[in-house]
Structure 1
Amino acid sequence: MFWIICAALAGMVTVAIAAPLLRRQGDEAEPAAAYDLRVYRDQLREVGRDLERGVIDQTDAERLRVEIGRKVLAADRALQRAVSGQRSPGGWVALVALALLLVGAFFLYQRLGQPDRPDAPIAQRIADAQALYDSRPTQTEAEARAPHPERPEPDAEYTALIDQLREVVQKNPNDPRGLELLAEHEERLGNLVAAKDAQRRLVALRGDQASAEDLARLAGLTIEAAGGLITSDGEKAVAEALARDPRNPQARFMVGLLHLQNGRPDRAFPIWAGLLAEGPESAPWIAPIRAAISDLAWLAGQPDYTPPEPSTLPGPDADAIAAAQDLPPEERQKMIEGMVKGLESRLATQGGTPEEWARLISSLPVIGQQDHAKAVLGEARQRFSGNQPALDLIEAAAKQAGLE
Structure 2
Amino acid sequence: MFWLVAGALLLAAAVALVLGVRRGRAVEAPALQDLQVYRDQLAEIERDLARGVIATEEATRLKTEVSRRILETDRLTRQAGGAGETRGPGGTLLIGFIVLLLAGSVALYWHLGAPGYPDMPLTARLAQAEELHRSRPDQAAAEADAPRPPAVQAEPEFLDLMAKLRATVAQRPQDIQGRRLLAQNEARLGDFKAAYTAQRQVIDLLGDKATAEDHAGLAELLIFAAGGYVAPEAEAELSKALALDPQNGTARYYAGLMFAQLGRADRAFVLWRDLLEGSPADAPWMPVLRARIGEIADKAGVRYTPPGAGVKGPDAAALQAAAGMGAGDRAAMIEGMVQQLSDRLGSAGGSPEEWAQLINALGVLGRKDEAAEQWAAAQAAYAGQDGALATIGAAAQAAGVAP
TM-score (ref. length: structure 2): 0.50
Query: Normalising by the residue count of structure 1, what TM-score does the alignment of the two structures yield?
Result: 0.50
